[in-house]
Amino acid sequence: MGRYDALLVVSFGGPEKPEDVMPFLENVVRGRGVPRERLLEVEAHYQGFGGVSPINGQCRDLIEALRPHVDLPIYWGNRNWHPFLADTMREMAADGVRRAAAFITAAYSSYSSCRQYLDDIARARAEVPGAPEVVRLRHYFDHPGFVAAMTDHTREALDRLPPELRADARLVFTAHSIPVSMAASSGPSGGAYEAQLRATASLVAGDRPWDLVWQSRSGPPQVPWLEPDVCDHLEALAAAGAPAVVLVPIGFVSDHMEVVYDLDTEAAAKARELGLPMTRAATAGTHPRFVSMVAELLAEPEPAACGASCCPAPRRPGRPEPAGSTQAAQAAQSAQAVQE
């Protein structure tokens, strides 16, 4: 592992006390046109859990689980809440770290789940003189370690159903909905977000029939997002006579708020109302194969970086394009291509 002198875990971040919830949410939605009513609704979800998101604790648990496998100092920085990436970058610079490998707690390609984290890292580095070089570890959505963890957890969730319902229980994979336009432009040639989710779901499902549906829709109502929503899909399955459902949050790597609220609270209430027996598979979390996967990624040859036109930032209606934004870079690139 001589290539890197540190591992940097990069995550979303979440509040850890009631007063942190609103400032955290403001960070998440800054400039994204999320209606105030939606924000207050989501605030109530967090306050219902004592103002504490599970995600930071889950990052700490993952880091502790990684220590025996990774012979490097491990740092951790978030996009939306403490510890912020820029502060972590400062700490790494002070410790003399020169070249870190970044493990991002998001498995799929899209602006939100890939490019935005790369931009977060770049911005944090730009703020810190002497910041280390950061090499992002490759995408792992179809890595055998991630697939094994999700397959194990899906089996466990099936086993929590009454025995007579297991054979015909439907696997319902879920992922965070994103705007349709963001999904269309995801990855090097578009459509990668959904294609990667389907690839992973199919590996986990094996011979069982399965569906992929969406959860946690945000954004302004006039913007189309990926559908169907998981709760609407449960209604459709109940109407079609499905005997039972196992929800598999394949789109996330830990049981954070989008899982414990949107699935375990909201979708579970919908299933009860429908009389549809349902269990929920755990996310990868600290499953031993998921943890050892990170060590395997560190040992791989250095991955190629994402191309400049991969997962472009969404257009913000009525806002000037910031200089040096992904789109500006893309426009410059295509102008160059035209000249050649």
Ligand X SMILES: CC1=C(CCC(=O)O)c2cc3nc(cc4[nH]c(cc5[nH]c(cc1n2)c(C)c5CCC(=O)O)c(CCC(=O)O)c4C)C(CCC(=O)O)=C3C
Point out which span in 141-149, 240-248, 255-263, 276-284 binds ligand X (CB under 6 A): 255-263
Of residues 55 and 86, the one with the C-beta less far from ligand X = 55
Point out which span in 105-113, 203-211, 237-245, 278-286 binds ligand X (CB under 6 A): 105-113
User: In what side-by-side order are the strands of the sheet with 245-248?
Assistant: 210-215, 170-176, 245-248, 278-280
Q: Which of residues 165-194 bind ligand X (CB under 6 A)?
A: 176, 178
Point out which span in 183-191, 201-209, 256-264, 330-338 binds ligand X (CB under 6 A): 256-264
Of residues 143 and 256, the one with the C-beta less far from ligand X = 256
Of residues 169 and 250, the one with the C-beta less far from ligand X = 250
Q: Are 277 and 165 in contact (CB under 8 A)?
A: yes
Instruction: Answer yes or no whether residue 106 interacts with ligand X by CB under 6 A.
Output: yes
In 3-state terms, what secondary structure has residue 194?
A: helix
14 contacts: CB under 8 Å, gap ≥ 6? 24, 52, 53, 54, 55, 56, 80, 81, 256, 257
Shortest spacing between CB 173 and ligand X, in angstroms: 14
Shortest spacing between CB 339 and ligand X, in angstroms: 34
Sign of the Cα torsion 231, 265, 20, 9 reads negative
d(CA 158, CA 281): 8
Of 113, 154, 196, 326, which one interacts with ligand X (CB under 6 A)? 113
Shortest spacing between CB 14 and ligand X, in angstroms: 3
Shortest spacing between CB 60 and ligand X, in angstroms: 13
Strand residues in the chain grouped as ranges (E): 6-11, 74-78, 99-104, 133-136, 170-176, 210-215, 245-248, 278-280
d(CA 305, CA 257): 30
Residue 261, classified by CB atoms within 10 Å of its CB into exposed (0-12), middle (13-18) or buried (19+), is buried
Question: How many residues contact ligand X, by CB under 6 A?
Answer: 26
Q: Tokens 């426009």 identify what position?
A: 331
Instruction: Answer yes or no whether residue 110 interacts with ligand X by CB under 6 A.
Output: yes
Point out which span in 64-72, 95-103, 213-221, 263-271 binds ligand X (CB under 6 A): 213-221
The one-letter amino acid code at 217 reads: R
Shortest spacing between CB 130 and ligand X, in angstroms: 28
Instruction: Answer yes or no whether residue 78 interacts with ligand X by CB under 6 A.
Output: no
User: Encoding tokens for residue 31?
Assistant: 């400039």
Contact code string over 12-31 relative to ligand X, x by CB under 6 A: x-x----------x--xx--
Shortest spacing between CB 255 and ligand X, in angstroms: 9
Contact code string over 32-71 relative to ligand X, x by CB under 6 A: x-x---x---x----------xxx----------------
99 contacts: CB under 8 Å, gap ≥ 6? 3, 4, 5, 6, 132, 133, 134, 135
Calculate the alpha carbon distances from 158 to 107, 203, 242, 326 in Å.
24, 16, 14, 43
Residue 214, classified by CB atoms within 10 Å of its CB into exposed (0-12), middle (13-18) or buried (19+), is buried
Of 218, 279, 283, 326, which one interacts with ligand X (CB under 6 A)? 218
Q: Binding site for Fe(2+): residue ranges? A: 176, 258
Chain residues binding ligand X by CB under 6 A are 12, 14, 25, 28-29, 32, 34, 38, 42, 53-55, 106, 110, 112-113, 176, 178, 216, 218-219, 251-252, 256-258
